Amino acid sequence: MKLIGSYASPFVRKISVIMLEKGITFEFANQSPWTDDSPVPTYNPLGKIPVLVTGPEEYWYDSSVIAAYLEQLDIAPALIPRDRLAAMKVLQLQALADGIGDAAVLLVREGMRPADKQLESELVRQRGKILRGLDALEKAAAGGKVLNGDAINLADIATGCLLGYLNFRRVVPDWCVNRPALVKLAEKLFTRESFARTVPPAP
């Protein structure tokens, strides 16, 4: 298997962590989707990462789809519950963490534009998404059932990669204020080998 993506992407990191947790051997191809000569559109017509290459002309894209593909390989540990309702709750929290990640990436990209070209209304809108989303994740983590439980699952991994990205890009640097359950979850996850091996390089 070959994973195509960027070390900095929280979505690519999520897939790397999943594969490391499951002990799946893979090749990593560090490719930016933002350059004019990027090969990513060859594999994903949307030009987005991550992409997982599993065979000739067999490409999987969108991190949630790749996560589902890896789970159906039935390699321990299971990261999505067998029970359908419990699985939906994990998948919904994964979607929430990924949605916050999308907003954070948009903030970072907008911040790269010249100051006089940045849209303040868009910055405010994306920050609002991030803060509301983090509050919802905090509530879930404090409950300790679907998120921040005894066994790691896909929602935990997605949330951990999101929090790592917020730290890495210094997006909402005070995200940890008044969110002790998320801080506890981050501290627990960041000590795992899968997270330690996927820390993005300094920008």
What gap in Å lies between CA 62 and CA 76, rounded to an integer? 22
- Buried-exposed string 118-141: b where 16+ CB fall within 10 A, e elsewhere: eeeeeeeebeebbeebbeebbebb
The predicted structure's pLDDT at residue 116? 79
> Which pTM does this prediction carry?
0.96
If you average pLDDT over residues 35-63, what whole number do you get?
Answer: 95
- Each domain of the chain, given as residue ranges in start order, spans 2-72, 84-192
What gap in Å lies between CA 203 and CA 198, rounded to an integer? 14
pLDDT at 203 over 80: no
200 three-class SS: coil
The predicted structure's pLDDT at residue 197? 97
The predicted structure's pLDDT at residue 111? 83
The predicted structure's pLDDT at residue 100? 98
The verdict on domain 84-192 having CATH code 1.20.1050.10 is yes
Angle, in degrees to the nearest 10, between helices 10-22 and 84-111: 140
What gap in Å lies between CA 67 and CA 158, rounded to an integer? 10
Backbone angles phi, psi at 132, to 5 degrees: -65, -40
Q: Which residue has the tokens 């849209």?
A: 119
- At the fourth CATH level, which superfamily is domain 2-72? Glutaredoxin (3.40.30.10)
